[in-house]
Amino acid sequence: MTEVNKAEIFEQVRDALVELFELDPSDIIPEAKLYEELDLDSIDAVDLVVHLQNTTGKKIKPEEFKSVRSVQDVVDAVADLLAA
């Protein structure tokens, strides 16, 4: 498998956040906190995981996303999943 491109994953995550939650793309930076700054809740997080599962074709275990707090955390979690 080729090396996972985190820039591409970030774009996918950003696009998902814009599409699913109508967020402003300029607000979605790697450091942005999902709950505090982007105003997501736990239901939104589940929706994001389901969307990412559909995008990646990989099953994501909920516990893998429990420690996710920022956009970069999501990117890293997806990268780890794709690399596995």
The full set of domain ranges for the chain reads 6-83
pLDDT at 80: 87
How is residue 8 written in tokens? 């591409």
Nearest-5° Cα angle at 69, 19 to 3: 75
pLDDT at 73: 93
Specify the amino acid at residue 15: D
User: What percent of the residues of the chain are helix, what percent strand, and what percent coil, each to the nearest 5?
Assistant: 60, 0, 35
| pTM score of the predicted model | 0.86
* Ordered mean pLDDT values, 10 residues apiece, the chain (84 residues): 77 95 97 96 89 87 82 92 83
Q: Is 26 helix (H, G, I), strand (E, B) or coil?
A: helix
Confirm if 55 and 28 have CB atoms less than 8 A apart. Answer: no
pLDDT at 67: 84
Radius of gyration over alpha carbons of the chain, in Å? 12
Q: Is 38 helix (H, G, I), strand (E, B) or coil?
A: coil
Architecture of domain 6-83: Orthogonal Bundle (1.10)
Range list of β-strands (E), 23-82: none
